[in-house]
Amino acid sequence: MKKFDGVWIYAPGNHDWDAGQGRYHSEQELQDFFQKPWLERAGGNLHLTPERTYGYYDIPEKNFRIIFLNSSTSRTLGEAYYLFGNEEIAWLGDLLEATDPATNVIVMAHYMPHPMGRWTSSKPVEPTMTQNNAIMDLLSEYAQKRTIVAMITGDSHTNDYARYNGVNYFISQGYGWVVPDLMLPTNRHAFFDYKETLCIDMIAVKPATREVHTFRIGAGGADYDYEFTY
């Protein structure tokens, strides 16, 4: 990662926690390994939350703020897949309130709270759905007075886009397989062998025209590109 000429933004998800020995990594362990190495390169623009794995990264010359969330554990609700904690949602609300309304805000997470994030029939329902609704309600509230570009996630093994209550939601696919018996027919799956086929979504934001363009490189090709405005 350190060979990458930029700053790595890390939003932990369900595959980042198990240490392989029946225990979860602590947030501090994940922050030390994935996030702190970028502090010096970020030049004061990477803001980490003490002993947490959520924070934000500012790009002042572009008037952008990238908020990255932890979607898989909570100090108040316990360790679980697909869970935004109450304390994290409160932190996000405070941060959005303090953000200049003219700043372009992108929210990134591994798990998609919008219902299209349920890419198989085996997703948990509670308390995940309650937290999903809380995140979406919060973003909708602040989209009325802040420039919310989009919420961008992975996890769902699909490429999908939806707009809900003034907020854009985009899922970037990173892996292609879904067990057929669990597959939801409404999702767009581009199946491929992840060991042999590159799959990257490049996302370009044009503040002058308030446009977002996503470009699929690899499996699925241009058929999985999206364009939307904010």
Question: Has residue 106 been placed in a domain?
Answer: yes
Question: Has residue 214 been placed in a domain?
Answer: no
Total structural domains in the chain? 1
Question: Has residue 101 been placed in a domain?
Answer: yes
Question: Has residue 15 been placed in a domain?
Answer: no
Question: Has residue 202 been placed in a domain?
Answer: no
Question: Has residue 116 been placed in a domain?
Answer: yes
Q: Which of 194, 108, 197, 117 is nearest to 153 (CA)?
A: 108
pLDDT exceeds cutoff 90 at 167 = yes
**pLDDT tens string 17-69:** 665 555 667 888 889 999 999 999 999 999 999 989 999 999 999 999 999 99
Asked whether the beta carbons of 213 and 203 are under 8 A apart, the reply is yes
Residue with tokens 């108040």: 76
Average pLDDT over residues 147-165: 94
Residue 138: which domain range? 27-195
Task: Flag whether the pTM goes above 0.85.
Answer: yes
Question: Has residue 14 been placed in a domain?
Answer: no
Please report the pLDDT score of residue 178 as a whole number: 76
CATH of the domain at 105: 3.30.750.180
Please report the pLDDT score of residue 9 as a whole number: 92
